[in-house]
Structure formats: structure tokens, C-alpha cells
Amino acid sequence: MASTKVDYAALGTKVLELVGGEKNINSLAHCATRLRFNLRDRDLAQTAEIEKLDGVITVMKSAGLYQVVIGNNVVSAYDAIMARTSLGAGEGSVAADEEGNKGSPLNRFIAMISGVFSPVVWTLAAVGLIKAFLALFTVGIPLLDTESQTYLILAALGDGLMFFLPIVLSVSAAKHFKVNYASSMAIAAFLQTTTISGMYEAGDPVHLFGIPVVMAPYSYSVFPIIVAIWVQSLIEPKLMKVIPSWMRNFTVPFIVIIVVALLTLLAIGPIITLATNLVAGALTWIWGPAPWLGGFIMGMFWQVFVMFGLHWGLSPIMINEIATTGHSLLFAALPSAVIAQCSAALAVSLRTKDQNLRQMALPTSIAGYFSGVTDPIVYGVNLPLKKPFFIGITAGGIGGAIAASGGSGATANVFASVLTLPAFLGVGNFALQLIGVAAAGISAFVVTFLFGMPKKGEATAAAAAVAPDLEPEASIIETRPADTKLVPADAQVVPANATVILPAEDAHTTDLVAAASGESMALSQVNDPVFSSGAMGQGVAIEPVDGNVYAPISGKVVTALDSGHAYGIKSDTGVEVLVHVGIDTVAMNGEGFTMHVHKGDAVQAGQPLVTFDRNAVAAAGYQDTVITIITHSGSFTTIEPMVGKHLTADELAVIVER
């Protein structure tokens, strides 16, 4: 590790120059140890010169990014670059670049939708749960009167976020497309005003400077605002470059808001409205001669219609049907479509080993069964994983065909869910409606459980896509001589020659620091076939210079053998690490090993795990190599050990990328 005398601000400026300057950078972000560049032309970057800079550990090219590994002081270098460029103007996210530059158009679209929804899926799940309880206590267990003020207040609590969803999504879309989120919110707020919604509801002709405007509904919508912010991303960066800096701050938002908001009103909204009318007309035409086919199409594509806002063209038709005939046949397929997505997510929650994914899939699927709200399920679980989503829509189509073939229909405009099935009692064959819903739910669950889970590692990546960004700034660690002891700042007894680690506010990271001081080497060089073959996972081995072994990552001790030679740690970011002291040292039965932690303890990176007597290990005829292994290495796209170097126990030892 570079010494504390390195001027990291100057280092950042030099790196900026060597990667080709601001003109060669699409975006820049940082994690705990790395500057992550998305470069326009990687060939312009002078990699060899960057690697020679004092303070740079290495350069990596992975996941579509050019990554300069600096270590704990990366923030200083990052701040220096941002202060000298306009790269921060968009409040951007590098995640968009990682996914946006690779894969098929479908994969890029799914990555974009998931990226936009990832900050809000948990909150969507929460309000969905509110709606589920309201449905339970009004339809299932009638304890609340739907006309009471209590119900109305609680219903507003459950509906508020969904009603203003375009404004919420404008912020996350701005981060994804790297534009100014305040301007994005202004555009969304314009579409949500009572003036615009009132003009739509009135149904009277609307003109803007004499141009006829086709009004559209924007409350609860998704696609119009995402398209609008995408258009903003095409305009705003160009304006930032051509408008002088002294007038840029107010002129750019002024132009962007006027142009994008009015373009959305004049073109984006009307185009979506036209599409919805075409879909609605086609379905209505099909339903007459072949209701089963209409039910199949409706059940299969309902979630797709919702994603693109096309359902708004169908909702008025269904509501009008109920008003004029007392029921709507188009409603028949909706419960199957909803239950199928819920069941697919439930199968994911029971099958996956990824804790983040399970925590998202289980509560959202249960809430969806009772509330009919599938947004957090679709955007947070099924769509990012792809297979469960497509299995769900296929199963929904099958169930919808069965339900519609019996002439089923709803007598009320309800959210399709388990609790609102009584709304289908009075029309058509209710038994076929139940059979259709059951067929959709069971088939979606079984097929997803057996065949719908992604290959190893993809589920973890999807969970990471919808989970909050947990990778913070690194801990502040003082440089010390190699023979000093390393102890946490909150230790009760601090030796005189110890250097204190100042823990970061949040020590979540995926990278590993060295578990011991000494010469690092590849696992293939370890004198044990279990470790050297890579069968247990990837990592790094260290020939220690002393008997002190430390935690390579912050987390919880899930394994601590009584022999003191092996420890399992699981970090909050899901990294599972095995620290193994010596080869065959289990035979020593703990002799010469002094444990400092036990199973269930929370540890910080750099905290002592065990002290062992190197002489005792040698006398017993064993090697004292300290081995660090990521036991589920297949869940990560990159594992890069720092081999062939002398590492001290606080230095970056393994770079880990999801």
C-alpha cells in the first residue's frame, strides 16, 4: 500500500489526464477502493503509465468499466477529479453504464427498467402490504367500512405513492440516465398537476399554441416519464457543453423543462394513448368470437401492458362495461395474470440461496396475493431474473384462457387478487374462474421452482440490482510498521505499539484485506490439493511473518472451530469467506492457537481473529500458510487476488466484483 505521503488529489488529477481527460469519460463513480471510469475509447487510456503512479495499486478492465484501484484514499482522488470536471452534473450511476453497454436490446431494456425501479421497490412493497391489509379487512374479514373516514385515510396511505409514481420514478430515472433530478421532477410534477389531469378528465378539446393536444392519464403511469427522462438525457448533456458556465446553472434547466415537458404532452403521451386504444380495440374485437383467445392474450400480456402504461386504454373500457352491463368480461383474465407473477416470485423466494433476493421475493409475493399490487414483484424480482417473469406471463395466459372460456366477468372495478375473487361470482362459470387462477398459480410456481432459476451467480446479480447500494467509503487506516499489532478502535485494551483502525460509518464492502502480513501467493501454489485446485473457491494465500491473523472483511462469524485454525465470515453484502490457518493444523487440536472471536460475533475488517504460535506449528511438522477463500466464488464476476507482493494486514488483498 502506498504511504500516507501520497498526494491523492494530485494523483486523481494525473489519472484524469492519463485516461484521456474529461472528453474521454462518459461517467465516473467510485467504490471502496476503485475509481470506476466508463470511457468512450479505452485505447486512449495510458494503462502502463497509470500503473506506475505512486498510489495506484493496479488497473482492471471488467464489466465494461476501466477501473483504477487506489485503496482506502480513493475518495480524495475522486473528489479531485470531480472538482476539475463537470462529470457530477448528472448525479449519475455507474450501474447504468455497466449494463447499458452490453447485451441484447431486450437485456438492456430490462436492465434499464430494473435500474429505474431498484430504489423504490421496497417502498412499493410496503404500500402494497397496506393495500393487502385493507383488502383483507374489507373483503375477507369485513371489519372496515369502505365508506368510513378511517378506511379512506388508510387507502390514501396505500395509494399515495402509486398515484405520484411518475414523480418518484423521475428521480431514479434521472440517476440512471445521469441527468439533473430536479429538472426531471419538474417535468413529472407538471404532468401530475390538477390542471393537466383535469383537462384529461373533462374530455374537451385541448390546444397548445393552436396545436391540438391528445390528453393522456399520467397518474400511476410508468413508461411516459421514463421516456421523458431518456429524452432529457439526449438534450441536457449537449446543453451543458455549449452553454457558458456563468449562465449554465439556470439556463439548462429552463430549456430542458420547457422542451421535454411540452414534448411529452404533445408526443410521448399521445403515442402511448394511441397504442392503448389500438390494444383495447383489438382485444374487444377478439373477445366476441373467441373469448378464450382474448383471455389468453389478456392474461399473458397484462403485466406488459401495465409496464408500458397500455392498460390505461383498457381500464376505461372495463369500467364502462360495468357501468352499462353490470359486469366486465375483460376482467376475467386479470386474477390469473396477477397470481401467476406472485407464484413465480414465491418459488424464487423458496428456491434461491441469495438472502437479498429472498427478502425481496417472499414479502412482495405474499402481499401481491392479497393486494393485487405486482409492481415490486415484477420490477424487483421476476423481470430482473427474466425466466420467472416469462414463466409468469405464460402461466397467466393459460389461466386467463380457462377463466374467459367460461364467460367469467367482474361485477366491480377491483384490484385483481385472491381476496377480490368474490367479484366474479355472479357472471359466467365461477368454477372455471377458480380453475384458471389455480392453474396459473400452480404452473407458475412449479415451473419456476424446477426450471426458472438462473444459473449460479445470476440470482445474486439480480438481487444486487434491486438492493440498496451498500458499498461505502473505506475505513481510514493509519500506516504502520509491519511488526506492529493491529487492533480495532473500540478495543478495551490497546497495546502501546498498536495502530488504531478508525472504522468507517458503514464497513460494507466486497473487497478483502489481507488476513495476515507476509508474502502473498496464488492458491495454486498452496501445498494442499483441496485449496490449490480451487475446489473450495478463489482467494489468496499468505506466508505470514508473525502469528497474528485478522478478519479480511467486516461481517458475522458464522464458523469458528474449537481448534482455532478456521473461521467463516459472512459480510452484510453477502460475501462468504473462509480463513484457514495452516495446512492440516486441525490435528493440533487448538494447541498454540489463541482465539479472539467466536461463532456469532460481529467483526470489522482488520479485527484480530486468532493468534497462533508459529514455532509450535513448525514443531508439529505443519505449514503455517494463512489461506483466505471466497467460498461462493461463482456469485462474482471478478475475483482478483494481489499475488506476488508483500502485504501488511490492512492492505487490499482481493478485489471482488459482482
> Max Cα separation, the chain?
94
- Catalytic status, residue 580: yes
Can you tell me whether residue 35 is helix, strand or coil? Answer: strand
Catalytic residue from among 31, 311, 508, 596? 31
- Would you call 386 exposed, middle or buried from its count of C-beta atoms within 10 A (0-12, 13-18, 19+)? middle
The H-or-E segment that residue 274 falls in is helix 269-287
- Rounded to whole angstroms, how far apart are CA atoms 286 and 329? 12
Catalytic residue from among 176, 580, 596, 632? 580
Query: Helices in 101-148 by DSSP H: which ranges?
Result: 105-117, 121-135
Reduce the secondary structure of 408-473 to three states and give it as a string. Answer: CCECCCCCCCCCCHHHHCCCCCHHHHHHHHHHHHHHHHHHHHHHHCCCCCHHHHHHHHHCCCCCCC
How many degrees, rounded to 5, is the angle at CA 515 between CA 512 and CA 516?
Answer: 140
Distances (CA, A) of 613 to 464, 546, 593, 621: 41, 9, 7, 13
3-state helix, strand, coil in the chain (%, to 5): 55, 15, 30
- Rounded to whole angstroms, how far apart are CA atoms 587 and 559? 18
Task: Walk across the sheet containing 512-513 and list its strands.
Answer: 512-513, 652-657, 638-641
List the one residue out of 199, 250, 192, 240 whose CA is nearest residue 219. Answer: 192
Contacts of 656 (CB under 8 A, 6+ apart): 510, 511, 512, 575, 630, 636, 638, 639, 640
What would the DSSP string read from start to end of 478-542?
Answer: ----TTS-EEETT-S---TT-EEEE--S----S-EE-SSSEEEE-GGGSS-HHHHT-TT-EEEEE
- Catalytic status, residue 31: yes
List the one residue out of 636, 120, 121 whose CA is nearest residue 360. Answer: 121
Q: Which three cell numbers stand for residue 195?
A: 390542471
How many degrees, rounded to 5, is the angle at CA 532 between CA 526 and CA 538?
Answer: 110
Is residue 540 a contact partner of residue 641, using CB atoms and an 8 Å limit? yes
- Rounded to whole angstroms, how far apart are CA atoms 25 and 42? 10
Q: Which three cell numbers stand for residue 22?
A: 474529461
As a whole number of Å, the CA-based R_g of the chain is 29
Catalytic residues: 31, 580
